[in-house]
Amino acid sequence: MSVREEFDDWATSGKDRGMEDRHWHTAKHVLARMPVEDGDAVLDLGTGSGYALRALRERGIGRGYGLDGAPEMTRNARSYTDDDAIGFLVGDFDDLPLADDSLDHIFSMEAFYYAADPHTTLQEVRRVLKSGGTFYCAVNFFEESESTHAWQENISIEMTLWSRAQYREAFREAGLYVAEQDAVPDRVIEIPDATAFPTEGYETREAMVDRYRTWGTLLTVGVAP
């Protein structure tokens, strides 16, 4: 199944809003760290419902581009806002339909690891960022967060499972400085007491604590020289 087929299906079944609800717990902390200024141009890579750009517009960015490979995602995202300063584009991570040196910042939540070639995606990120521009790349699926590894079994698209060190190394290889890397915990999700386990998703309470409180979302921040 292609990105388009898989995620169009998610959009038409309402999963785009479901993702927004779940991801917001940690995405809001990542967005709060972004050094956006009035008038900035920002790309949201794998925008889903487009919530990140709606939030960043409240902080004064001038232009938001929400890119997604699934047309139904962009159609839904467009319907959730009447803000003309936010545009939604259908496109692929490995061939960004944007000019060189055209963006102040790029945000991406729970999307980067779906890239067919994540190294090409990073080169594209580097290409479209202005000097001093940042890439805030947030993922929940990564090597150290072991209970996320099983997610690959539920999706037909091949997912890239990198460690924290591999993210840093790949950013540097693409010509980005690594300004920060952090695990942003999800403190909102409720974790039941030990008697509730095993649950559908977790064998033990420790595994659920590891997933949400220890690791949560891995944030890697790249800066264009």
Ligand X SMILES: C[S@@+](CC[C@H](N)C(=O)[O-])C[C@H]1O[C@@H](n2cnc3c(N)ncnc32)[C@H](O)[C@@H]1O
Contact set with ligand X (CB under 6 A): 3, 7, 19-20, 23, 27, 46-48, 68-70, 73, 92-93, 109-111, 114-116
Query: Which is nearer to ligand X, 20 or 40 (by Cβ)?
Result: 20
> What six digits make up the tokens of 88?
């939604």
The least distance separating ligand X from the CB of residue 145, rounded to whole angstroms, comes to 15
Q: Measured between alpha carbons, how far is 66 from 83 in angstroms, rounded to an integer?
A: 12
- Residue 3: left if φ>0, alpha if ψ -120 to 50, beta else—which one? alpha
Residue number, 68 or 210, with CB nearest to ligand X: 68
- Judged by beta carbon, residue 7 or residue 197, the one nearer ligand X is 7
State which residue, 7 or 136, has the beta carbon closest to ligand X.
Answer: 7
Question: At its nearest, how many Å lie between ligand X and the CB of residue 172?
Answer: 22
Nearest distance from C-beta of residue 50 to ligand X, angstroms: 8
Residue 9 vs 37, nearer CB to ligand X? 9
